[in-house]
């Protein structure tokens, strides 16, 4: 029987980094937020570009699926807009073709994603934001993003089952947050 080779220094460091990442993950208070990549982004072939912005920022995708959203669920989701003149139109628009639903995780994820998406009105959104770079509309503004931690929690529960949300250690986690940030709750 041949002896197993000793682990290399690289393998040892990777194990150590994984353990550090897992330990750090427990210390950092992570938020989750919901993003819906809307029908206009899907029709304009912008889904990948939108998603890559969040990944490049350092947010972690913990759940993602494509779904043709049904009016009953959309009516619940947009209940706060029921009295608005565009309510029926937004339900029709959002149920016209599939959207991509994504749960992103990171430190202050809700605030970070809101800044990245820009104001609702695409014409008013600054360049560099998703809407500022790709949208000219108030409704066809590419993405929905949760507006608060509480809203994010409710929206994630509305669109995802618990078993659809995954916990894992990203290999680049150590490069996204400083040591000091990892210790702050």
Model confidence at 74: pLDDT above 80? yes
Which one is catalytic: 77, 80, 144, 166? Answer: 144
Instruction: Give the β-pairing of 99-106 and 31-37.
Output: antiparallel
Q: If you ran DSSP here, which 8-state letter would residue 92 be given?
A: H
Q: If you ran DSSP here, which 8-state letter would residue 39 be given?
A: H
Supply the CATH classification number for the domain 29-175: 3.30.70.141
Model confidence at 78: pLDDT above 80? yes
* Residue 53: Cβ-neighbour burial (10 angstroms; 0-12, 13-18, 19+): middle
Token reading at 30: 């992570």
CB distance 70 to 9 below 8 Å: no
pLDDT digits (tens, 9 = 90+) for 130-166: 999 999 988 899 999 999 999 999 999 999 999 999 9
Is 144 annotated in the active site? yes
CB distance 158 to 69 below 8 Å: no
């Amino acid at each position: 029987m041949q002896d197993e080779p000793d682990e290399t220094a690289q393998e040892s460091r990777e194990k150590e980094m994984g353990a550090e990442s897992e330990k750090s993950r427990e210390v950092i208070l992570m938020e989750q937020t919901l993003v819906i990549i809307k029908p206009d982004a899907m029709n304009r072939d912008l889904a990948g570009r939108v998603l890559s912005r969040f990944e490049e920022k350092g947010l972690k995708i913990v759940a993602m699926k494509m779904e043709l959203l049904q009016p009953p669920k959309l009516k619940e989701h947009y209940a706060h807009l029921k009295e608005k003149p565009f309510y029926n139109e937004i339900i029709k628009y959002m149920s016209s073709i599939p959207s991509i639903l994504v749960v992103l995780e990171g430190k202050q994820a809700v605030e970070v994603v809101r800044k990245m998406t820009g104001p609702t009105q695409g014409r008013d959104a600054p360049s560099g934001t998703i809407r500022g770079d790709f949208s000219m509309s108030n409704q066809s503004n590419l993405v929905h993003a949760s507006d608060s931690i509480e809203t994010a929690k409710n929206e994630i529960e509305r669109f995802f089952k618990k078993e659809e949300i995954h916990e894992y250690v990203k290999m680049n986690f150590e490069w996204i947050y400083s040591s000091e940030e990892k210790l702050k709750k």
